[in-house]
Amino acid sequence: MIKNIIFDMGNVLIDFNPMQYVKELHIEDKEEEQKIFKAAYLNYKSIYMDYGRISDEEFVDHVVEGIGEEYRDKIKTLILNWTDYLTPVAGMEELVIELKSKGYKIYLLSNASFNQHNYWEKIPVHKYFDGKVVSCDVGEVKPFAGIYEALYKKFNIKPEESFFIDDLIINIFGANRTGMEGYVFTGDVRDLRKELERRGIL
């Protein structure tokens, strides 16, 4: 019997659209726009933030070192303040409230940097969550088993009693390998509701 519903964050609870964040900078030169996008979001060191090996501020310094000091303010905006454009996924808060009312424990499992702790409370749905595991805090990332095991251990829950919702199929496969079933969210809460109803969760 399912007792716990586990949610990913980006493109599940909130939209995550890096190119849109770059467009908010209103850069007229399209080549410069692409240059900034690639430097900020296609940078191999970004995974180090998710692992908790570097801070967001250290990553900004790394990006600026490669692209030029004149871009520091724009890079800081993209890395540290992208949540100024934060948009909840439509219908997700209502679903979480309904699941909570049925007695399920609600948890977050996210690959994210230390900055997540600064913006988590900006996401309206956060107040219904019973806890969270963020990759930077445990030094493990999805889809590898360690982060799922960290979740089970921290909250003393069983994988077979938990259901995971993530937008990436590889992360669902990762959950499956540790004994937790899941669903690949494609952006439509109605489809997610149908799956939860099919499984007898709703």
Does residue 193 share a domain with residue 117?
Answer: yes
Helices (H), 122-165: 135-138, 145-155
* CA angle in degrees (0–180, nearest 5) for 183-185-6: 55
Contacts of 31 (CB under 8 A, 6+ apart): none
Does residue 116 share a domain with residue 173?
Answer: yes
Which pair of structure tokens corresponds to residue 82? 């992208």
Given a contact cutoff of 8 angstroms between Cβ atoms, the answer to whether 150 and 170 are in contact is: no
* Domain that includes residue 116, residue range: 4-15+88-198
**What gap in Å lies between CA 106 and CA 2, rounded to an integer?**
11
pLDDT digits (tens, 9 = 90+) for 70-87: 999 999 999 999 988 889
In the chain, which stretches have pLDDT less than 50? none
Does residue 170 share a domain with residue 128?
Answer: yes
Contacts of 146 (CB under 8 A, 6+ apart): 138, 139, 140
The phi, psi pair for 117, rounded to 5°, reads -70, -20
Does residue 151 share a domain with residue 103?
Answer: yes
Question: For position 85, what pLDDT does the model report?
Answer: 87
Given a contact cutoff of 8 angstroms between Cβ atoms, the answer to whether 63 and 39 are in contact is: yes
Does residue 78 share a domain with residue 127?
Answer: no
Does residue 157 share a domain with residue 95?
Answer: yes
Does residue 145 share a domain with residue 117?
Answer: yes
CATH of the domain at 153: 3.40.50.1000
**What gap in Å lies between CA 100 and CA 85, rounded to an integer?**
27
Q: Taking the CB of residue 187, how many other CB atoms lie within 10 A of it? A: 12
Which pair of structure tokens corresponds to residue 191? 């489809």
Strands 181-184 and 4-7: unpaired
Question: E-assigned strands of the chain?
Answer: 4-7, 14-15, 87-88, 105-110, 131-134, 162-166, 181-184
Does residue 158 share a domain with residue 73?
Answer: no
The length of the chain in residues reads 202
Q: Taking the CB of residue 125, how many other CB atoms lie within 10 A of it? A: 21
Question: For position 71, what pLDDT does the model report?
Answer: 95
